[in-house]
Amino acid sequence: MIAGRWVGTEDWRRAQLAANLEHVHERIAAACQAAGRPAGSVTLTAVTKTYPASDVLLLAGLGVTDVGENKDQEASGKAAEVSAAGVRLRWHFVGQVQRNKAKSISAYADVVESVDSLRLVAALDRAAAAVRGEPLEVLIQVSLDGDPARGGVAGDDLWRVSDAVASSDGLRLGGLMAVAPLGQEPGQAFARLAELAGQLVATHPGATTVSAGMSGDLEEAVRHGATHVRIGTSLLGMRNSLR
Ligand SMILES: *Cc1c(COP(=O)(O)O)cnc(C)c1O
């Protein structure tokens, strides 16, 4: 500590986030290099759930452009605060979407990453058409272990759901999202995701996004072609709850 200089909590938090962010960028750059992929081919989405809007604003000030949230009530409040501060970010909704929240989410989200049923596609399409001037980007969440309890589409439902998104006027099919299954080697799961992403883009050439990789497995995800990694803990710190 520099003598005579009081370091405020916000300065301290900014310094902490800056150090964490630098480390995450280094990890992403190293993973890109190891995979022979160009630096900058992976976008960082900072998953800010459970952390306050003040952290989102600090991250924005440090150059973060994309943030992720998983609960509508929390996300809508934060998005409003950030927007009131005059800061424009891309908001990714990464949690389970309750259909009665589709309208609220469509109003502030730029991307909904967790679409996994035809009923949800219909609800989001209607909501997006009602509250947005442009289509809402949607990623299909893929279940890599076939356990529907953890969210995501399994098997041929992927093609049914992605075709439904592609033919919805209110939605734009961006690509795929997945969370590595618990207790499995993530590389195998992400390799499977890459295969599905290749099949998807063959029929939907605009659907190039592959959102995969979290704090514990971003390297494996980048190795298998992730275009977006979703990082919470490594940037913001441990969360109190298991969200
Ligand atoms: C919380 C969350 C993340 C971030 O996870 P960390 O392990 O904290 O990096 C990524 N994706 C989804 C869908 C999440 O819910």
Cα distances from 229 to residues 2, 47, 93, 163, in angstroms, run 36, 10, 14, 25
What CATH number is associated with residue 157?
3.20.20.10
Percent of the chain with pLDDT over 90: 89
Domain residues for 147?
10-236
How far separated are the first and last CA of the chain, in Å rounded? 34
In a domain, 241, yes or no: no
Say if 105 falls within a structural domain.
yes
Closest atom of ligand 1 relative to the 216 alpha carbon:
7
> pLDDT for 76-112, tens place per residue?
999 999 999 999 999 999 999 999 999 999 999 999 9
Indicate the pTM of the whole model: 0.95
pLDDT given at position 12: 94
pLDDT at 242: 59
How is residue 222 written in tokens? 């980048």
In a domain, 126, yes or no: yes
Residues pairing with 46 in the sheet: 67, 231
Centre of ligand 1 to C-alpha 4, Å, is 40
pLDDT in tens, 20-68: 999 999 999 999 999 999 989 999 999 999 999 999 999 999 999 999 9
Q: What is the pLDDT of residues 106-133, one digit of tens each?
A: 999 999 999 999 999 999 999 999 999 9
Ligand 1 center from residue 231 Cα (angstroms): 6
pLDDT above 50: residue 1? no
**Stretch 161-174: mean pLDDT, rounded?**
98
Q: Is residue 112 part of a domain?
A: yes
Number of domains present in the structure of the chain? 1
Q: Indicate the pLDDT class of residue 146, thresholds 50, 70 and 90.
A: confident
168 domain-assigned: yes
Residues having CB closer than 6 A to ligand 1 are 47, 49, 70, 94, 179, 214-216, 230-234
- 149 pLDDT more than 90: no
Buried b (16+ CB within 10 A) or exposed e, 68-85: bbbbbebbbebbeebeee
Q: What angle do CA 72, 103, 108 make, to 5 degrees?
A: 60
pLDDT value, residue 65: 98
Residue 3 domain flag: no
Residue 178 lies in a domain: yes
What is the whole-number distance in angstroms between the Cα of residue 1 and the centre of ligand 1?
33
Residue 69 lies in a domain: yes
Structure tokens at 131: 């509250």
